[in-house]
Structure 1
Amino acid sequence: MISIRKGLDTREKLRILSHDSQYDLACACGMNDEDRRRRSKDDTWIYPVALPERRTTTFLFKTLISNVCVNDCKYCPLRMNRDPQRCTLTPEEVVKTFWEYYRAGKVMGLFVSSGVIGTPDQTMERLNAIAAILRKQHFKGYMHLKIIPGASDAAIEQAVSLANAVSINIETAGEKHFNALSTTKNYLEDIIRPMKLIHSLTQPGAPYRKVRQTTQFVVGASDETDQEIVNYSWGLYRRLGLQRIYFSAYQRGLGERELPGEHDVRSNQDMLVREHRLYQVDWLMRKYGFALEDVMFDDRGNLSLTTDPKELWAQRHPEFFPLNINTAAKEALLRVPGLGPTTVNAIVAQRKQGQRIRSLHDLGRVGKRLQKAAGYVVFT
């Protein structure tokens, strides 16, 4: 039986619900702890993020509209049959508070999600109502809406028509692993079907082609391998055109005991390193031109916890190096440990201006990261 606390004012409900929104990262946030998990000291529902296609960090008003949920996702501390302090915001409460912070210049956009209140469509009705009210009140800024698993096509299309970005969390790599985590959701019908529909509505030439789709894996709650997650990520980018994929390390103690992933011998700290490695691989595939077959796994199908995936590829391909930094193609330079897109673009720009690079010092301050390149390049 879920008990819902009554008599709370809007500010107190926001305190509870913004705290509970920490478990959802799929809102176009950054790749470090400052962007993904930090909360401001006084206004806990203000969330720093790097918006799509922007280099600067801005702030979103980020909250659940309810932490009531009828689902039994075993990794989730808000699942049914648990007894956290439950409460629900009305669409009007969210809109009113958002405007206060937007007009004060404290936030530039909105991210709203929710537990499942009653049915998926009943919940989507509330989420879409928030967006519809704001659009009717002439808010033209950034909005990210969470798609509730199992929502109808009509509810999903309405959300896509109102938002700049939408997301539905895939949670794990495949139906088998998913079924070990939830008995109330159907992987193919409630997760994959909506993702495909969103793609059809947002692909080039579609009515809402400017709307972005993201998703999130909960890493380590089930017993999927890193290789399975990477394979699924590759497919989601290639077949469904997702803009970003996020990874959230499951921390033991938040969910039920005896989850498949509980048998993993790695510590919580190792699980956070695992999350970081998956982000590194994601970055290599999206920004560095790495293909699926370029990612190195151990004999259990997992990424190394001690060596980053780019450096591991370089170590296993000595025939590729050393590269002449003054003549090598941009794509080849992106394979060099310690060289990122910004540095490689600077190298290419210097070469176009006829400047010869004679040492790493010609590229700027040689810190620990750039020093990695020393063993893989020459300057002849």
Structure 2
Amino acid sequence: MGMDDVINKLDILSEDSQYDLACACSSKNPKEHRRRGLDGRWLYPVPLTRGGYGIMLKTLLTNTCSSDCRYCPLRQDGNTARRCTLSPDEIARAFLEYDRRLHLLGLFLSSGIIGNADRTMERLTDTAAILREKYRYRGYIHLKIIPGASPAAIRRSMQLATAVSLNIETPGAEHFAKLSQFKNYDRDIIAPLKLMAAETARGAEFARVKCTTQFIVGASDENDREIVKYMDGIYNRLKFERVYFSAYQGGLGHPDIPGESRFTLSPHDRLTREHRLYQVDFLLRKYNFAAGEIVYAENGNLDLGHDPKEHWAIAHPAFFPVKINRGDREALLRVPGLGPVSVNRIISQRRQRRIGSLSDLGLRGKLAAKARPFLDFT
């Protein structure tokens, strides 16, 4: 196949990789958002150890799939018109050509399921092996673990990759069974996730490899409380690097899907729900909140009108106001509108002089207005 044909197929496969977001697209920082290259391919952010972000190419090996995931337009009985596949060598050569022109930081490689999990994993790891061994590529490679992959296939991916991920999809087997009959939740999802955790634990052979996972939010009939409970376990028991969320958008999947009837949300509200889960993720990872402290509506979902920290503050009036000149770091982090950077600035500045207002810190606008009612400046 000529390079032009390879590039044309890569355009299609990169476009279809959008259905597996796996990045913090709900962040307010534009540098953390996925974006399209000039030729239409998806480029994703990668955090740099020295600070800031670079970009990586994200694509599939194939958009043909044996699975039946009801939320996915690439499922076996889906209506995707342009099915295509590239070989491991074609993907490797196309990526290196793209890297030569754009100086990418790496490759995020996923795939539809080609027959079975290990057959697909072999093609994914063959691609990584060609890059590592034939072309001596030493950059970032993120490989998707296919549900049901064998322990040997998972370990092989970890030999070659910088990071690996496997979508947990739903919080529990009951919700998962409403989305797929091809896959078994405990065998194909939970068992591989536990193996990934064990193989990358501190002191283990692949401790350098980062593990992530993702929920498909709103395709099945789970509520946010269930998602957060599982998220807490992923961080505290499995010790994964990140949890991501992808809001299911109506009309992409099978018309008979639980989320279509249970969640009567607009497309905007579906994305707001996703964003609220990312905010909870930050509260757990950066603000020292416990999962049991998160406040929900009666239906078990997060409030779409208030961010989760503000909702907690409203529900705990006795905790406030926090004294800005004497409150400890943990208390200040509970104040709506204040993040770790602002709190560090407060602690640093009050060592030098008393803080009389948020403007003393250079904090203005909506975040300052949100924080002010919860602070005591005496």
Q: TM-score, normalised by structure 2?
A: 0.94
1:240-297 per-position Cα deviation (integer Å, ceiling 9, x unaligned): 0111111111111001112111112222221111111111111111110111121001
The total of aligned residue pairs comes to 373
Alignment counterpart, residue 93 of structure 2, candidates 86, 92, 96: 96
Q: Secondary structure at the match of 2:71?
A: coil
Matches of 1:102 and 1:199, distance apart in 2: 31
Q: Which runs of 5+ in 1 are unaligned?
A: 1-5
Matches of 2:227 and 2:50, distance apart in 1: 27
Matches of 1:247 and 1:280, distance apart in 2: 11
Matches of 1:94 and 1:276, distance apart in 2: 33
Give the 5 Å matches for 1:1-380. 9-26=5-22, 31-32=27-28, 34=30, 35-40=32-37, 42-51=38-47, 55-84=51-80, 85-136=82-133, 137-263=135-261, 264-352=263-351, 354-380=352-378
Change (3 A) 1:33 1:322: closer
Residues 247 and 275 in structure 1, CA contact (< 8 A), matched pair in contact too? yes
Q: Secondary structure at the match of 1:9?
A: helix
Deviation of 1:97 (Å) = 1.4
Residues 109 and 143 in structure 2, CA contact (< 8 A), matched pair in contact too? yes
State the AA in 1 paired with 2:46. Answer: A
Change (3 A) 1:256 1:46: closer
Which stretches of structure 1, 4 residues or more, deviate above 6 A after TM superposition? Answer: none
State the AA in 2 paired with 1:62. Answer: K
State the AA in 2 paired with 1:118. Answer: G
Q: TM-score, normalised by structure 1?
A: 0.94
Matches of 1:29 and 1:127, distance apart in 2: 25
Matches of 2:201 and 2:72, distance apart in 1: 32
State the AA in 2 paired with 1:314. Answer: A
Query: Alpha carbon RMSD of aligned pairs, Å?
Result: 1.8
Matches of 1:102 and 1:278, distance apart in 2: 33
Segment drifting more, 368-377 vs 180-189: 368-377
Matches of 2:163 and 2:350, distance apart in 1: 39
Matches of 1:358 and 1:50, distance apart in 2: 39
Q: Secondary structure at the match of 1:326?
A: coil
Matches of 1:207 and 1:316, distance apart in 2: 45
Residues 322 and 376 in structure 1, CA contact (< 8 A), matched pair in contact too? yes
Q: Which runs of 5+ in 2 are unaligned?
A: none
Residues 323 and 376 in structure 2, CA contact (< 8 A), matched pair in contact too? yes
Matches of 1:165 and 1:38, distance apart in 2: 21
